[in-house]
Amino acid sequence: MPVPISQAWTVASYVLGQKLRGNKRYPLVLMLEPLFRCNLACAGCGKIQYPDHILNKRLTPEQCWAAADECGAPMVSIPGGEPLIHPEIDKIVEGLVARKKYIYLCTNALLLKRKIDLFKPTKYLTFSVHMDGLEPEHDAAVCRDGTYKIALEGIKEAVARGFRVTTNTTLFEGANPNRVREFFDEMMKLKVEGMMLSPGYSYQKAPDQEHFLGRDRTKKLFQQILANRKKSWKFNLSPNFLEFLQGNVDYDCTPWGNPTYNVFGWQKPCYLLQDGYVPTFKELIEDTAWENYGQKSGNEKCRDCMVHCGYEASSVDDTFGSIPGFARTVKAAIAYGT
Amino acid sequence: MPQAEKHALPTHKPGSIEGTTLACTDAASRQNALQTAFDYRGDVTLDFKNGNKITGFVFRYDESPAQVHLFIPQGKDSVPQIFPADQVTAVHFTGEDPAFGKSWDDWTTKAEKERIKESERLARESVARGEL
């Protein structure tokens, strides 16, 4: 089981509660971006291309907690930018833990060893370390030599101290399935709790659109990677999402599933597209023309997207939405050992 | 839809809209100019009917009510302010375009020596900011 039973139970009871209330649009994971500043500058990244005065902006802990309260999702993912740069990241995490939110602090781990004393191990906090492959692939992807080794040290330290640690990996055009499989072996040797995977993020404003995977390529790549998968591999993903990535099941996007809050407000409609901002979560849910988004809407921007922030929520909704969906999940879970 | 007048300022960077201006001569050209400003990753300067000029980052543009939201730089930080969109007469793309030349292709077509140099410079800047 790659997540604690308490987390699985919290999420299951939350989703079932939403279903019983007839709430069709409920958030699953709050994407909380407390800053855009990063200590890496990966080519093609669309999250860090701002003027300095924007990169210098930070959400306060109070703003972060208010967003978590307003949204109500049981899980909070903290990407960025690099969250460990935030001078009050420990306070932000502490407040979210007090609210019993399951937190995935997404980090490149360059500062993890230096800042780890700021945090206490708890079932509510997971360091989700950005690892884009084995050393040559990772260092090339983040455009700086030496980062893989530093991240590895950070992971080892966090695991040794009893923290929950996962890896998160983004795969782009040209990824070598065999090398990805070797990478999985290496990550599992580090005793991480599980691995997260996603095809390349087609950020609308990313200065690079050519290297993100199209749908057919995505399915083929994930079929190659996950064929004859090893039992030792643990994934921190819904088993149905892994099936979706391989084209074994079809979903439409759930863009409200992972709402994004950052220094500009609540981002419309999702983590990847920036069609505008609103000051409240209520406005985001009620005023967004959701029918204009998702692959089935015909929106060009959504055509090739198979990213976890849109489809993980669809997978979870499928699990609790019908008996066949639940049966699919159980079958896939057994197959993946999750 | 009529296209807004687009002309280059002396700072124009070929391949980017940095250094260009979009004049707002009617509602459609104003909408196009402000939407382009919202999509732009650098600062812009807005001209207003009363002669004022405001420079900042457009982080939100609403068509109804027509309002443009900017972060106005103040020292190293910036503060949000809202302006009526129908008062804007021109949008100048005055700030550096931080996304320009930052694609994966741009990176890989650079010589290895140049990539190493740039990577080291960015790392030094992060160290100087206390982020590494």
What is the longest distance spanned by two Cα atoms in chain B? 51
Within its chain, how far is the Cα of A280 from the centroid?
A: 22
Percent of all residues in chain B with a pLDDT value above 70, rounded to a whole number: 89
Give pLDDT, residue A141.
92
Q: Which two tokens stand for residue A107?
A: 């980090």
Say if residue B121 is exposed, middle or buried (CB neighbours under 10 Å; 0-12, 13-18, 19+). exposed
Is B6-99 CATH 2.30.30.100? Answer: yes
CA angle A108, A110, A116 (to 5 degrees): 100
B55 close to B43: Cβ distance less than 8 angstroms: yes
Cβ-based neighbours of B86, under 8 Å, separated by 6 or more: B27, B30, B66
Q: Do B41 and A49 touch (CB under 8 A)?
A: yes
Q: Report, as an integer, the average pLDDT of A12-16.
A: 94
> What is the per-residue pLDDT across A129-145, written as a single tens digit (0 to 9) for each?
999 999 999 999 999 99
Q: Do B41 and A50 touch (CB under 8 A)?
A: yes
Give pLDDT, residue A45.
83
| Separation of alpha carbons B59 and A44, rounded Å | 20
Alpha-carbon distance A29 to nearest alpha carbon in chain B (angstroms): 24
> What is the per-residue pLDDT across A283-334, written as a single tens digit (0 to 9) for each?
999 999 999 999 999 998 898 899 999 999 999 999 887 888 888 888 888 8
> Does A289 contact chain B (CB < 8 Å)?
no
> What is the per-residue pLDDT across A226-284, written as a single tens digit (0 to 9) for each?
999 999 999 999 999 999 999 999 999 999 999 999 999 999 999 999 999 999 999 99
CATH of the domain at A67: 3.20.20.70
Looking at the predicted structure, is the pLDDT value of residue B6 above 60?
no
A74 close to A102: Cβ distance less than 8 angstroms: yes
**B contacts of A211 (beta carbons < 8 Å):** 104-105
Q: Report, as an integer, the average pLDDT of A45-69.
A: 95
Question: Does this complex have an ipTM over 0.95?
Answer: no
Residue type, A137: E
Question: Which of helix, strand or coil describes residue B101?
Answer: coil
Q: Do B108 and A37 touch (CB under 8 A)?
A: no
> Does A301 contact chain B (CB < 8 Å)?
no
Give pLDDT, residue A257.
98
**Domain spans of chain B, in order of start:** 6-99, 101-132
Looking at the predicted structure, is the pLDDT value of residue A110 above 50?
yes
- At A210, is the pLDDT very low, low, confident or very high (cuts 50, 70, 90)? low
**A contacts of B129 (beta carbons < 8 Å):** 37
Q: Which two tokens stand for residue A27?
A: 């958030």
Residue numbers of the domain that contains A245: 5-18+25-336
A272 close to A210: Cβ distance less than 8 angstroms: no
DSSP B41-55: SS-EEEEETTS-EEE
Give pLDDT, residue B3.
33
Three-state secondary structure readout of A280-298: CHHHHHHHCCHHHCCHHHC
Instruction: Residue window 93-122, chain B: list those with CB within 8 Å of chain A.
Output: 95-96, 98-108, 115-116, 119, 122
